[in-house]
Amino acid sequence: MALDLAIILPTLNERGNLAPLVERIAAAMGDVGWEVIIVDDDSRDGTAEEARALALGDPRIRVIQRIGRRGLASAAIEGFCATAAPFVAVMDADHQHDPALLPAMLASLQAQAAEICVASRFVPGASTADWAAPERERLSALANRVARRLTGVELTDPMSGYFMLETARARALVPRLSGIGFKILLDLLATAPKTLGTPMRVKEFPLQFAARREGTSKLDRAVLFDFLAGLYDKTLGQVIPTRFALFGTVGGLGVIVHFAVLSALLFVLGEGFALAQTAAVLVAMSFNFWLNNWLTYRDKRLKGWSAVLRGWLGFCATCAVGAFANVAVATFLEGRGLFWALAALAGIVVGSVWNYALSSRFVWGRF
């Protein structure tokens, strides 16, 4: 049987969902040639092992286990590049996306009625009754309005995670995709006009968005940050690297923390400037580590007390020279009569570039 469609399933702790989902896909696809590519972010629950066990009984199932790489968007990109199928779909493994839509989406692409097919939660005939997440629905609606302006495509659900397109078209877009966060469809739609010359023609299919079968969602409160990062990458990312911009944003918040601690020690407790500046550096550095781990490097996030502690120690160690330069420059300038706030700011600027370069490499980039 000829291979027509590759179905990419990005997974993180989805062990119990895989076998039932493969059964649903097989029932939906009938005599169409298909394969499932499970791209697993080194799940702790044995998802990759379960996928390999399924593959022993069904050669249509393949597994990519990623070590040190995380994120739905980058998982989809690796799936695009790992298949020979002429068409490729991306869907969640948690059973919220109905496989019954796959044959109709594939037929539409094969008939050239569209260049990308999207399963929409908001098109007439769709339903989110089983979602039971009204706050997420409101966030999706707001994000959709912003995304439509960015992509130039009229869609009811440009933030959907369930879509299908021609594989060659997807691979042509890959070099210009950011691969950040979860919203790979937004990235594809925004990149297409710059790479292919015109926006992709889209057809939407009503999705009965179901409740998650088991496990917990991979999305957390940082999903909004991912969305904003994606918007930034598509607008200014070629001027200033997105990761550096996110690191700088966190650093800006760290400046507020730094000055709050410094001011409290100087004017409330009456400590000397050198001691106050040193304490402010340590507190701000710890704050920056926590927020960068949660947001900037969430695709490489350190988890578990031991990993976080080692990461924090590594962050402090790699930033030690930057911190020393920060304190030395600030203290020198303040001692020469420069206003204390300007002296502190000068120290922060000197240390920031060093902090970014080494922490990116030795704390979150060790793989």
> Would you say residue 122 lies in a domain?
yes
Same domain, 210 and 258: no
pLDDT band at 140 (very low <50, low <70, confident <90, very high): low
What is the Cα–Cα distance from 38 to 91, expressed in whole angstroms? 11
Residue 206 — left, alpha, or beta (φ > 0 → left; ψ -120 to 50 → alpha)? Answer: beta
Residue 300 — left, alpha, or beta (φ > 0 → left; ψ -120 to 50 → alpha)? Answer: alpha
Chain centroid to Cα 181, Å, comes to 1
Same domain, 46 and 115: yes
> Would you say residue 340 lies in a domain?
yes
* CA neighbours closer than 13 Å in the CB half-sphere of residue 303: 9
Same domain, 266 and 304: yes
Other beta carbons within 10 angstroms of residue 147's beta carbon come to 24
Q: Which of helix, strand or coil describes residue 343?
A: helix
Same domain, 184 and 253: no
Residue where a domain stops, chosen among 172, 201, 216 = 216
What is the Cα–Cα distance from 259 to 255, expressed in whole angstroms? 6
Can you tell me the mean pLDDT for 210-223? 57
pLDDT band at 213 (very low <50, low <70, confident <90, very high): low
**Does the pLDDT of residue 147 top 80, yes or no?**
no
The CATH number given to whatever domain includes residue 137 is: 3.90.550.10
Other beta carbons within 10 angstroms of residue 298's beta carbon come to 21
Same domain, 181 and 247: no
Same domain, 209 and 339: no
Same domain, 169 and 279: no
pLDDT band at 245 (very low <50, low <70, confident <90, very high): confident
Q: To the nearest whole percent, how much of the chain has pLDDT over 90?
A: 35
> Would you say residue 109 lies in a domain?
yes
pLDDT at residue 168, rounded to an integer:
96
Same domain, 187 and 297: no
**Does the pLDDT of residue 201 top 50, yes or no?**
yes
Residue 49: both structure tokens together: 């092992």
Same domain, 57 and 166: yes
Describe the crossing of helices 340-362 and 242-263 by its angle, rounded to 10 degrees.
140
**Does the pLDDT of residue 224 top 70, yes or no?**
no
Residue where a domain stops, chosen among 146, 181, 216 = 216
Most confident residue range from 163-167, 237-241, 256-260, 300-304 = 163-167
Q: 7 or 301: which carries more pLDDT confidence? A: 7
pLDDT at residue 332, rounded to an integer:
87
Instruction: Return the HEC string of 136-205.
Output: HHHHHHHHHHHHHHHHCCCCCCCCCCCEEEEHHHHHHHHHHCCCCCCCHHHHHHHHHHHHHCCCCCEEEE
Nearest alpha carbon to residue 83 among 61, 65, 104: 61
> Would you say residue 228 lies in a domain?
no
Same domain, 208 and 270: no
pLDDT at residue 367, rounded to an integer:
41
Most confident residue range from 137-151, 213-227, 343-357 = 343-357
Same domain, 203 and 256: no
Structural domain of residue 289, as residue ranges? 242-362
Lowest mean pLDDT among 65-74, 235-244, 337-346: 235-244
What is the Cα–Cα distance from 204 to 126, expressed in whole angstroms? 10
Q: 182 or 110: which carries more pLDDT confidence? A: 110
**Does the pLDDT of residue 254 top 70, yes or no?**
yes
> Would you say residue 85 lies in a domain?
yes
Order of all β-strands in the sheet with 5-11: 61-65, 34-40, 5-11, 87-90, 163-166, 116-120, 202-206
pLDDT at residue 170, rounded to an integer:
96
The mean predicted confidence, pLDDT, of the chain is: 83
Q: Which of helix, strand or coil describes residue 64?
A: strand
Domain count, the chain: 2
pLDDT at residue 363, rounded to an integer:
80
Can you tell me the mean pLDDT for 95-114? 95
Buried b (16+ CB within 10 A) or exposed e, 201-221: ebbbbbbbbbebeebeebeee
Same domain, 316 and 273: yes
> Would you say residue 230 lies in a domain?
no
